[in-house]
Amino acid sequence: MRASAGWLRWGRGALAALGLWGCFAQPVYREAFGELDQDASGGVEWSEFRRRFPDAAPKVFMEADADKDGTLKPEEWKLFQELQPR
Ligand SMILES: [Ca+2]
Ligand SMILES: [Ca+2]
Which ligand is located closest to the Cα atom of residue 71? Answer: 2
40 C-alpha to ligand 1 centroid (Å): 5
CA dist 9 and 24 (Å) reads 23
51 C-alpha to ligand 1 centroid (Å): 11
Between residues 6 and 2, which one has the greater pLDDT? 6
CA dist 46 and 55 (Å) reads 12
Sign of CA dihedral 67, 52, 34, 19: positive
- pLDDT-based confidence at 72, cuts 50/70/90? very high
Rounded to 5°, the CA angle 76-80-81 comes to 120
Which ligand is located closest to the Cα atom of residue 43? Answer: 1
Sketch out the chain's domains with CATH numbers.
Answer: 2-83 (1.10.238.10)
CA dist 26 and 56 (Å) reads 7
Rounded to 5°, the CA angle 72-56-66 comes to 30
pLDDT at res. 66 = 97
- pLDDT-based confidence at 1, cuts 50/70/90? low
Average pLDDT over residues 41-46: 98
pLDDT at res. 73 = 98
